[in-house]
Amino acid sequence: MMTRYDTNAIEPKWQKVWLDKGCFEASEESDKERFYALVEFPYPSGVGLHIGHPRPYTGMDVLARARRMQGYNVLFPIGWDAFGLPAENYAIKNNIHPAEVVRRNVERFRGQIRRLGLSFDPAREVNTTDPEYYKWTQWIFLKMVEKGLAYKAEMPVNWCPSCKCVLANEEVVGGLCERCEAPAEHRDKSQWMLRITRYAQRLLDDLELCDFPARVAAQQRNWIGRSEGAEILFPIAGTDETLRVYTTRPDTVFGATYMVISPEHPLVDKCPPKNAEEAAAYRAAAARKSDFERTELAKDKTGVRLEGISAVNPATGGEIPVYISDYVLMSYGTGAIMAVPGHDTRDWDFAKAFGLPIVEVVKGGDVTKEAYTDTETGTMVNSGFLNGLEVEDAKKAVAEWLEREGLGEPKVRYKLRDWVFARQRYWGEPIPIVHCPACGMVPLPEEDLPLRLPEVQNYKPSDTGESPLAAISEWVNTVCPRCGVPAKRETDTMPQWAGSSWYFLRYTDPNNPGEPASKEALRRWMPVDWYNGGMEHTTLHLLYSRFWHKFLYDVGVVEQPEPYKKRTSHGFILGSDGTKISKSKGNGMDPDEVVNTYGADTLRLTILFIGDFEKGCRWSEQIIKGCRRFLERVWAAAHSPFASSVPETKLHQTIQKVSGDIEGMKFNTAIAAMMSLLNEMEKGCSKADMLLFLRLLSPFAPHICEELWALLGGKGLCCEAGWPEHDPAKTVEDTVELAVQINGKLRGTVTVPRGCPDGEAAAAALQTEKIAAAAAGRSPDKTIVVPDRLVNLIFR
């Protein structure tokens, strides 16, 4: 008598067994080959696990489970990236301490994750808000201070008026705060910065060492934004000042008919123009604009000429006017440009608006009509000693000339900016620095770490740009660790990205009290073999953590230059209406509800079967039913009387397909292959077939497989059984059906023995009725035979 497939009974039962037996715990003793599979650890928010989590987790869980069955010693950990604004905001709103909020949320997340049957290592959780963890985050920061990689500087930064804290460049998306979408403002603030720019070239070069998807590597390359050019000095006529510009096209210097400096450029103060008031007004207006307004809205060129100021074009010797305009950014290059309106659309627009001369220096276009920018190649004109040279040669000639005359030098620039590494909020790692009136900034000694967050009553942010910690006088006021005089603590905290920049190292040795992780553990587990995560972190966490890892490599903590061998990225699941899933729209699903109704195994199958793992897809209620139906049929088949075996070929083909598809994250086609095999098995299969099938399915739908494995008397646990191996010889049939084409069009098929010689195949094809009729007694002019695939008969 077949029992009902009752997921609510089966699933918790096996989850407990797995946990009690420690099935998912990585071993430090095992001499099996190791495999480190990593997913991005979640931010444990108040609303619990959401739709975004199960897909990457399940995908990597399939891989981790398959690897264990394949005999690897697998590290597949999870943790909690629990610092950050949402916990703090939630805490403020509900008047609960953030630490308590985190404790509750983590508990909920842990339970939800377990209910999905995810095989995360229960013995290696990390939590970025645990002082024993952030002690090491602080320790790494101090190492950076020591090496001059962390510094404090007064500079214009992005300020989110809604979050009330500064933002890193990477956190500003289209001029808006990445988190709350408020327009980011400019503020001049003294900030802790990390010198990620020092690693720009290595972060770029070492992409070679990383097996990243093309789009990830391209995006990082783009973000680092390397460009080659030159700096050229333009003297300011009648003064000792020079204007230093950066250009990628020094060869066009003869076409520079005016100059533009950014409104923030210091030259305006050094050389006051005659129209100082007008210039000041323009600068003030520019300062008021947000980045959003400056870059997104104001594409029309505006500016003010600095009257009485002119620069000397070192190539022509001619005097050219100088303008301030907000289309030139202080944050890139030198904040000043030589404008070559003939060959740059922005300069052309500006020149037209202000009636400035436009000179053609590369032949090809008509610069009176528009800027001619197709100048990768071409011949120089109107360019003195460069005339007649090809662009490529002109570049070399100009470079030599600049160096010879001391007028400039070749220069490599990056778009990458240093990383603003301070937040004016409570819920983050305190920056372990003391400001001493005598000694200046003094790092806390290592033995004073962790520097714990103080218990406070009010952790609301202020509008003044100061952290709430600044109001806790008993915490702020301390003594200088160096000289002992009264001093004040740094009150800013680290950004959310700090803890996640090295968490994958801590997993290798999560409870080590004396170092981030032991050398042995790091040697055993690093680098991460396979890291799956979201595209949205490509220029945030993924770049940041590569940077930290390189730093830790330089100071001898880790032994490899790159942390991740292989990176994959899952596509997002959108709502049934094609938009982002949200509870209020009711267009999606709640993982808990789906587990309650259909079971975790069905949910796991559904989110993998719904489409290509690496592409986005829409959620659909329909697919769930199909997956549940499939599991019902597996259940029924395992309870049916066994009979003769399924064809061996089918079995071995499926093993091969599923094994290969797991490696390629083609989970949808792996599941399709198993559905297809089940269709075959329903016609009759042996118990051995079923046991094999269960092993194949087990990484995808582990609970039902475990239950049926036990029912059928499988040895041990299904999740610990060996992974089935296919015999390549058994994946092929003895006979094959050849497609028969006439002039490339399919006209029939013919069955021949495998490996049948070309001549025989062609003869067999010609003997089939349809083909013989079409041939009408003629013999083909040409015959193409693709062994075991097709015969193409060509009649002219």
Partner RNA sequence: GCGGACAUGGUGGAAUGGCAGACACGUUGGUCUUAGGAGCCAAUGGGCAACCGUCCGGGUUCAAGUCCCGGUGUCCGCACCA
d(CA 259, CA 250): 14
350 CB-contact burial (10 Å; exposed 0-12 / middle 13-18 / buried 19+): buried
d(CA 619, CA 577): 8
> Is-contact 732 754, C-beta < 8 A?
yes
Asked if 794 touches RNA (CB under 7 A), the answer is yes
Site for RNA in 756-785 (CB under 7 A): 782, 784
| Beta-bridge partner residues of 338 | 259
Long-range Cβ contacts of 162-167 (<8 Å, 24+ apart): 163/85, 163/425, 163/461, 164/424, 164/425, 164/461, 164/462, 164/463, 164/465, 165/85, 165/423, 165/424, 165/425, 165/461, 166/191, 166/420, 166/422, 166/423, 166/424, 167/420
d(CA 389, CA 250): 14
d(CA 348, CA 365): 13
CB-side exposure of 16: number of CA atoms within 13 Å? 5
**What's the per-residue H, E or C state across 111-138?**
HHHHHCCCCCCCCCCEECCCHHHHHHHH
Among 182, 439, 672, 775, contact with RNA (rule: CB under 7 A)? 672
3-state secondary structure at position 461: coil
Among 31, 154, 300, 463, contact with RNA (rule: CB under 7 A)? 300
Asked if 637 touches RNA (CB under 7 A), the answer is no
Residue 48 or 611: the one with the smaller Cβ distance to RNA is: 611
Interface region with RNA, contact rule CB under 7 A, candidates 120-128, 297-305, 589-597, 639-647: 297-305
Asked if 682 touches RNA (CB under 7 A), the answer is yes
Among 387, 644, 679, 735, contact with RNA (rule: CB under 7 A)? 679
Give me the least distance between CB of 223 and RNA, in Å please: 6
Residue 387 or 679: the one with the smaller Cβ distance to RNA is: 679
Long-range Cβ contacts of 376-380 (<8 Å, 24+ apart): 380/251, 380/254
d(CA 281, CA 266): 15
Residue 31 or 376: the one with the smaller Cβ distance to RNA is: 376
Task: Count residues binding RNA (CB under 7 A).
Answer: 85
Asked if 655 touches RNA (CB under 7 A), the answer is no
Give me the least distance between CB of 467 and RNA, in Å please: 27
The radius of gyration of the chain from alpha carbons, rounded to an integer in Å, stands at 33
Question: Is the bond leading into 273 cis (omega within 30 degrees of zero)?
Answer: no
Among 323, 327, 427, 503, contact with RNA (rule: CB under 7 A)? 327
> Is-contact 340 380, C-beta < 8 A?
no
Asked if 671 touches RNA (CB under 7 A), the answer is yes
Interface region with RNA, contact rule CB under 7 A, candidates 157-165, 300-308, 396-404, 560-568: 300-308
Residue 144 or 260: the one with the smaller Cβ distance to RNA is: 260
d(CA 166, CA 150): 17
Asked if 789 touches RNA (CB under 7 A), the answer is yes
Residue 248 or 275: the one with the smaller Cβ distance to RNA is: 248
Asked if 675 touches RNA (CB under 7 A), the answer is yes
Asked if 173 touches RNA (CB under 7 A), the answer is yes
Residue 560 or 783: the one with the smaller Cβ distance to RNA is: 783
CB-side exposure of 456: number of CA atoms within 13 Å? 24
Residue 466 or 632: the one with the smaller Cβ distance to RNA is: 632
Interface region with RNA, contact rule CB under 7 A, candidates 290-298, 364-372, 544-552, 716-724: 290-298
Contacts for 209 with CB less than 8 Å, ≥ 6 apart: 561, 562
Residue 189 or 249: the one with the smaller Cβ distance to RNA is: 249
Give me the least distance between CB of 369 and RNA, in Å please: 16
Site for RNA in 200-259 (CB under 7 A): 214-215, 218-219, 222-223, 225, 227, 229, 246-249
Interface region with RNA, contact rule CB under 7 A, candidates 85-93, 398-406, 519-527, 614-622: 614-622
For the record, the structure tokens of 157 come out as 């930064």
Give me the least distance between CB of 620 and RNA, in Å please: 6
Asked if 180 touches RNA (CB under 7 A), the answer is no
What is the chain's length?
796
- Amino acid letter for position 399: A
Give me the least distance between CB of 219 and RNA, in Å please: 4
Give me the least distance between CB of 263 and RNA, in Å please: 11
CB-side exposure of 293: number of CA atoms within 13 Å? 11
Residue 276 or 329: the one with the smaller Cβ distance to RNA is: 329
> Is-contact 306 198, C-beta < 8 A?
no
Among 201, 316, 518, 620, contact with RNA (rule: CB under 7 A)? 620
Spell out, one character per residue from 482 to 521, where the chain touches RNA: x when CB under 7 A holds, - when not.
----------------------------------------
Give me the least distance between CB of 404 and RNA, in Å please: 21
Residue 167 or 623: the one with the smaller Cβ distance to RNA is: 623
Residue 102 or 790: the one with the smaller Cβ distance to RNA is: 790
Residue 385 or 795: the one with the smaller Cβ distance to RNA is: 795
Contacts for 777 with CB less than 8 Å, ≥ 6 apart: none
Residue 694 or 740: the one with the smaller Cβ distance to RNA is: 740
Site for RNA in 394-423 (CB under 7 A): 413, 415
Asked if 604 touches RNA (CB under 7 A), the answer is no
Asked if 618 touches RNA (CB under 7 A), the answer is yes
